[in-house]
Amino acid sequence: FARIWCSVRKEYKMTITEPSLEEEVRHQSAMSYPDEGELDRLCSESLYGTGRSDAINANAAKALRLPTIERAAYGTGHILNDMTGSVWFSYLLVFFRKVLLFSNLRSGILISVGQAVDAVFNPIVGTLSDRTSLSFGRRKSWILGGSIAIVATFPFFAGGCKTCEEYILKRTDIDIMVYYLGLISIFQIGWASVQVSHLSLVTDLTRCQDERTVLYSLRFAATIFANVSVFVATWLLFRKSDSSDLGPADIDEFQALNFGVVGAGFLFVVFCLVFVREPPAPRNTTSGGLITWRDWLAMKEFYQVGVLYMCSRFIQNVAQFYLPMYLLDTLGLSKTAIATVPLTLYVSSMLTTFGMRPLNRHLGRKTAYTIGIGLVLFACVAMYIMPRESEGLMFGASVLLGIGTTTIVITAMAMEADFVAGNVESGAFVYGSMSFMEKMANGLAILIVQAIDPCGEQCAPG
Q: Which secondary-structure segment (H or E) carries 354?
A: none
Tell me the H-state helices in 206-299. 209-239, 251-275, 293-297
- What's the chain's length in residues? 462
pLDDT at residue 210, as a whole number: 77
Whether 440 contacts 197, CB under 8 Å: no
Whether 413 contacts 313, CB under 8 Å: no
Rounded Cα distance between 269 and 174, Å, is 35
CA distances from 165 to 92, 94, 98, 212, 249 (A): 16, 17, 16, 44, 12
- Nearest 10 degrees: CA dihedral of 395, 223, 373, 451? 80
Rounded Cα distance between 314 and 320, Å, is 10
Neighbours of 89 (CB within 10 A): 22
Whether 99 contacts 240, CB under 8 Å: no
Tell me the H-state helices in 64-171. 68-76, 79-94, 104-131, 138-153, 162-170
Q: What is the mean pLDDT of each run of 10 residues along the chain (462 residues)?
A: 41 36 41 48 51 46 72 91 88 83 83 86 84 83 93 82 55 77 92 89 81 82 86 83 72 88 94 89 54 82 89 86 84 81 85 83 89 94 89 89 91 85 71 81 81 59 39
pLDDT at residue 10, as a whole number: 41
Give, as one character, the DSSP assignment of residue 96: I
Query: Residues 166, 169, 173, 178: is their CA dihedral positive or negative?
Result: positive
Whether 310 contacts 199, CB under 8 Å: no
Whether 394 contacts 341, CB under 8 Å: yes
Give, as one character, the DSSP assignment of residue 110: H
Cα-to-chain-centroid distance, residue 57? 34
The residue among 88, 128, 147 whose CA lies nearest residue 443 is 88
Whether 71 contacts 214, CB under 8 Å: yes
Residues ≥6 apart with Cβ < 8 Å to 6: 12, 56
Dump the DSSP string for 382-400. Answer: HHHSPPTT-HHHHHHHHHH
User: Helix 162-170 and helix 251-275: axis angle, to 10°?
Assistant: 130
pLDDT at residue 405, as a whole number: 92
Neighbours of 377 (CB within 10 A): 13
If DSSP states are collapsed to H, E and C, what string results for 431-459? HHHHHHHHHHHHHHHHHHHHHHCCCHHHH
pLDDT at residue 52, as a whole number: 44
Dump the DSSP string for 23-47. Answer: HHHHT-TTS-PPPHHHHHHHHHHHH
* SS3 at position 102: coil
